[in-house]
Amino acid sequence: MTNIIGVRFKNMGKVYYFEAAGHTLQKGQHVIVETSRGMECGEVAMANRDMADEEIVQPLRPVVRVATEADVKRAEENAAREAEAMEICAQRIAAHELEMKLISAECAFDGSKILFYFSAEGRVDFRSLVKDLAGIFHTRIELRQVGVRDEAKMLGGLGICGRPLCCAQFLTDFHPVSIKMAKEQGLSLNPTKISGTCGRLMCCLKYEQEAYSSLLKITPRQGALVNTAEGRGTVVDVNLLTGVLKVRLDKAPDSPPVSMHRDDIKVIRDGKGGKITPAEPDEQE
């Protein structure tokens, strides 16, 4: 077992594990840790917790120290420098007439590097821009192109539901989303209705997919041939969540469909023309 903490470096960013190294830390505290990008100041997102060694991705780096007032002040100064860097970089992009959209800037904790994130439709030759910025800031400059989903997460905004974007509020990772999920949930396949601000399929399609997948396994499809207490019939409508089906009885084809729960019927043949299941003798009329 290893005592670890979870540290987040950006608002709603991914939580990374670090060895507590004897420090007892509470959520919301700031710590100094060493990452692949050098020393960074992060916020504790998960307090001390013991975790089995096999659940940890090695190597696990230790916490260097609890952030001091001077460290927090430096982080605030870096944030102010990032705002200035954004303004200057946007001006230089326009001056170089580059087809790219600047999204955000990040200053390394020790000031040794400034990282700019941008989006673009294709590849961009930004070598002259990097040289220009290096001459202005007198530090190492990096530019990193990101996709539209990451762009939406960084910029934030409101979704079609009227609430702040999930990716900017609480999602730490993006999960695959497919059009099949929308089909199984009975949603409109109109791209404008199932796409998020980023133009990709909405992340929230993933939230209830497990429940829908489970219900689809136990719910007859539309068109299924079923046996009911009132006789044989065909499913003409399905409410997957409530389990209520509308069945048109063979003995009354011109009458309105009868509402029944999925637990009260027996499927003879599914809605895709499957084989008829063995039925009782009195059901084989």
DSSP string, 75-96: HHHHHHHHHHHHHHHHHHHHHH
Do 78 and 142 sit in the same domain of this protein? yes
Q: What is the mean pLDDT of residues 214-238?
A: 91
Report which of residues 265 and 280 the model is more confident about: 265
Residue 173 DSSP label: S
Query: Do 159 and 133 belong together in one domain?
Result: no
| 282 pLDDT above the threshold of 80 | no
In a domain, 34, yes or no: yes
pLDDT band with cut points at 50, 70 and 90 for residue 118: very high
Same domain, 63 and 92: no
Total structural domains in the chain?
A: 4
272 pLDDT more than 70: no
CA distance 139 to 131: 10
Domain boundary among 146, 171, 193: 146
Q: What is the mean pLDDT of residues 120-137?
A: 92
Partners of 41 in the beta sheet? 32
Domain membership flag for residue 14: yes
Any domain includes 214: no
d(CA 205, CA 208): 7
pLDDT tens per residue, range 194-222:
999 999 999 999 998 999 999 999 999 88
The answer as to whether 281 is a domain residue is no
Span 127-154, mean pLDDT? 92
165 part of a folded domain: yes
Residues 79 and 132 in one domain: yes
Strands (E), 2-69: 2-8, 15-19, 30-35, 38-51, 63-66
pLDDT (0 to 100) of residue 280: 42
Q: Is 70 exceeded by the pLDDT of residue 190?
A: yes
Residue 284 in domain: no
Does residue 213 sit within a domain?
Answer: no
The reply to whether 120 and 80 lie within a common domain is yes
Q: What is the pTM assigned to this prediction?
A: 0.71
State which of 146, 162, 193 marks the end of a domain: 146
Does a structural domain hold residue 264? yes
- Between 63 and 285, the more confident residue is 63
Regarding whether 172 and 133 lie in a shared domain, the answer is no
Q: How far is CA 86 from the centre of its chain?
A: 26
Domain end call among 35, 67, 99: 67
Residues 63 and 83 in one domain: no
Given pLDDT bands bounded at 50, 70 and 90, which one contains residue 232?
Answer: very high
- Same-domain status, 59 and 37: yes
Dihedral angle sign, alpha carbons of residues 85, 87, 90, 95 = negative
Residue span of the structural domain in which 191 resides:
152-206
Least confident of 21-30, 248-257, 269-278: 269-278
CATH number of the domain where residue 116 is located: 3.30.300.20
Kindly state whether residues 112 and 140 are assigned to the same domain: yes
Residue 117: pLDDT above 90? yes
CB 152 within 8 A of CB 165: yes
What's the pLDDT score for residue 12? 63
List pLDDT tens digits, range 41-91.
888 988 888 888 777 777 888 899 898 999 989 988 998 999 999 999 999
Q: What average pLDDT does the chain have?
A: 87
